[in-house]
Structure 1
Amino acid sequence: MDKPRVAFIHDYLVQYGGAEKTLEIMSDIFPEAEIFTGIYKPALLSEKLNSKKIISPGTSLLSKWPKYFTFLMPLYFENFDLRNYDLIISSGNAWAKGVLTKPTQLHISYVHTPPRFLYKYSVESTNRNNWYYKPFVSFIDTSLRVWDYISAQRPDFLLTNSHETSKRIQKFYRREAAVIYPPVDVEAKSAAELDNLRAPFYLAAGRLAAYKNFDLIIQAFNLLGLQLEIIGTGKEEAKLKKMAKDNIKFLGQASDDVKFQKMNECLGFIFPVEEEDFGIVPIEAMSQGKPVLAHRSGGVLESVRDGIDGMFFDKVTLEDFVSKMKEFDDNIKKGVYNSNSIKDHVQKYSVSRFKKEFEAFVANKWNQFLSEQK
């Protein structure tokens, strides 16, 4: 395709999670592109992502205290100066899609999810539920939902990470979004030797936040006495450690090498999150041939084949989870799940596949755009 001048827009660069890894892979396709973002914290990102040209407000009030100035974010993103670019690719769940473009520019937006906090999905912060916040939050959220709908009409084309999220986009924005699954490192190799007979354990990983339901699995493993190891840190860490008995081990923040080593060694992976937009970590575990026990909701329904790659629990209750965990453990002991079949299944989420599909989509829309401009 003719080489356009490209700019990426991303909500915040304050962690190195799935959305940021997706942005990193996208930007590999357009290595000369600049990245605009609301908040930039280089210490929390990869060296590769930091090597890109990143434009952010620096020392503004928005970057210092974003949660207190959320209502100003639309104005900030609408004021990005994008006049010198032909192709705008936005990425995020809240603000990036709302940038202002001209008819002579093509805007493609990869929406990871409509903002969870605006549409009553569980979020990490619990302060929004405090009585003294609620009157302000209710007023601001109503205004932001109006802006969110309007801003979602601005991109020429929408992409998203799962059919689950595509349904949300249709529900809240009345727009179609093509699905391109995000890139997952399914080809990662662990240096560890399989050693399940010596130290059998189950693994969970993620931010230790209230909505992630780690308290549920800790209560269950306390009762069952099975070995559990947990990768991750977060606001709930101290509370969860107090709950846990000796059969539960907290590994803290782990490198990718350690994470994949543990995934390689474990008996199975536990994913108790409700309504997850996509769910990269379970796929990483499956890339090591390990079955997954997950809540029956969200994007994980697209990646885990019930009875083949693992199984689901239906209710976020101790009774239901313990019952399904016993069944899951029994299935593993019986050899119900085939490691090679699980590994083969998740190859469709590879980085190379994402690059190919994303580049083809952008090229098609860009060529279509050029023909319409003539």
Structure 2
Amino acid sequence: MTDEPEANRTSSAADLVVAHWGEHANGGGDRLAWELARVFDDAPFYAGWRDESIEPDDVEARQLIAGDWLNRALERGGPFRKVAHLLGWQLASPLREYDVLVTSGNEPLFYVPPDDQTWVAYIHHTNRRQSDQLAEVESKPFEKARLLAHYAIRVAFDHNTHKPDLFVVNSEIVKRRVVRYWGVPEEKIRVVYPPVDTRTYSPSDAPTADYYFTLSRLDWHKDIDGIVRAFNDLDERLLIAGDGPERDRLERIAKDNVEFLGFVDEAEKRTLLSGAKAFVFNGRDEDFGIAPVEALAAGTPVLGVREGMTQYQVVDGKNGYRHARDGDSGPSLTETVRRFETEGVRWSDEEIASFADRFSVEAFHDGIRDAVAEAVSTSDTTPPWYVDYLSDDR
């Protein structure tokens, strides 16, 4: 830390450090953290756990959690990884040297900062199995034991969610959850949408063809089941890109009009998104959902489930349609596809693409810089009378 008065300190890269909970999956959270590193491109970038094999060429992390025992726990995963993060983040000595800290993820909340450090914490989601998805444990074996474990995790986080000066979240949905489940005052939270490289997608990437498209990890919370079953009742072609633990089961229940593509690279993804009649999305209470935004940036209408952030990425009749999940009231996905086939949407491809600009990389950079500047300003502890003595005439 510098001895310079708080009022004169800045959020320049020389005084700022970025830290991400861990590079584990090359998922949306990792990509957002790497973009944070680009926002402050001269600042050091730490990761609780580093996996250089998935890092982009222009980002290089330094591993924060060190020590043979902790590293073995990180590699093992599961509860061992959670304990390693809990212990590793509390002190996190390299981070304490900087005036401003920007973190990504929940695990950094275990960090205990020095009192003169400004901290901005980007939160991707609350601990979902301990908050909005708690009811899911009813369908799992040993649910009472699971409830006890989830309670323990909630208690741990309840004592560690109030130290940052400012929280930044990826959607209004997550803002609501951070207020409700973590008790963070609403005035300490700002919404900055994740960065989607909307400029790399275009309606001109491919002519519209005769298929619907979805892209995601094939896992239970993406609810690809509902999409497959809907298209089993339709005479429409559906292409599914992505892989995951549900793939074999999904292939068994799918009819011949549903085709599984597996992993697709970025070039093929752009072509598939632009060429689809519509993109179909059914993720459960999505915190944000990047794939629908990529589809919109490609000028492709979205048929999205009416929940989570997805419901606000779709404007009914203009850039797509919203459907109700099976068992909820409202039009089903099958009915929505039929309506789309009959009515189409009102906006042109270019109008749909321009709607996605609010989620661009540039908007993310501006929002993060504004949040850091605000946090630095509001965390100033310099007494007003002391500032008066700094003027030349006193």
TM-score, normalised to structure 1, is 0.89
Alignment match, 2:99 = 86
Letter paired with 2:79: Y
Which residue of 152, 156, 159 corresponds with 1:150? 159
Cα deviation digits, residues 303-345 of structure 1 (max 9, x gap): 221221111112335982212221123233xx54421211111
The Cα of 1:367 is off from its aligned counterpart by 4.0
Alignment of 1:113-262 (within 5 A): 113-121=125-133, 130-132=140-142, 134-175=143-184, 176=186, 177-189=189-201, 194-196=206-208, 199-262=209-272
The Cα of 1:65 is off from its aligned counterpart by 2.0
> In 1, are the aligned partners of 2:323 and 2:333 still within 8 Å (CA)?
yes
> In 2, are the aligned partners of 1:34 and 1:54 still within 8 Å (CA)?
no
Letter paired with 2:75: K
The Cα of 1:112 is off from its aligned counterpart by 1.1
Structure 2 residues without counterparts, runs of 5 or longer: 1-9, 387-394
Q: Secondary structure at the match of 2:195?
A: coil
Whole-angstrom CA distance in 2 between matches of 1:306 and 1:95? 37
> In 2, are the aligned partners of 1:331 and 1:337 still within 8 Å (CA)?
no
Cα deviation digits, residues 195-230 of structure 1 (max 9, x gap): 33xx41001011000121111111111220211111
Q: Secondary structure at the match of 1:372?
A: coil
Change (3 A) 1:325 1:2: closer
Whole-angstrom CA distance in 2 between matches of 1:289 and 1:19? 25
Identity %: 24
Q: Secondary structure at the match of 1:203?
A: strand
Alignment of 1:12-23 (within 5 A): 12-23=22-33
Stretch deviating more after TM superposition (337-346 or 290-299): 337-346
Change (3 A) 1:189 1:228: same
Alignment of 1:1-374 (within 5 A): 1=10, 3=12, 4-49=14-59, 51-57=60-66, 60-69=71-80, 71-72=82-83, 73-81=85-93, 82-92=95-105, 94-121=106-133, 130-132=140-142, 134-175=143-184, 176=186, 177-189=189-201, 194-196=206-208, 199-317=209-327, 320-332=332-344, 336-370=346-380, 372=382
Cα deviation digits, residues 229-268 of structure 1 (max 9, x gap): 1111101111111222222121211222211111111100
Give the aligned length.
Answer: 365
Stretch deviating more after TM superposition (217-226 or 71-80): 71-80
TM-score, normalised to structure 2, is 0.85
Letter paired with 1:320: S
Give the number of the structure whose alpha-carbon radius of gyration is greater: 2
Cα deviation digits, residues 44-96 of structure 1 (max 9, x gap): 343333x343434476232122213255132332132132122111111x312
Letter paired with 2:382: E
Whole-angstrom CA distance in 1 between matches of 2:297 and 2:356? 6
Stretch deviating more after TM superposition (259-268 or 32-41): 32-41
Aligned alpha-carbon RMSD (Å): 2.6
Stretch deviating more after TM superposition (186-195 or 274-283): 186-195
Q: Secondary structure at the match of 2:356?
A: helix
Q: Secondary structure at the match of 1:152?
A: coil
Change (3 A) 1:129 1:102: farther
Q: Secondary structure at the match of 1:31?
A: coil
The Cα of 1:143 is off from its aligned counterpart by 1.6
The Cα of 1:31 is off from its aligned counterpart by 2.4
Change (3 A) 1:194 1:2: closer
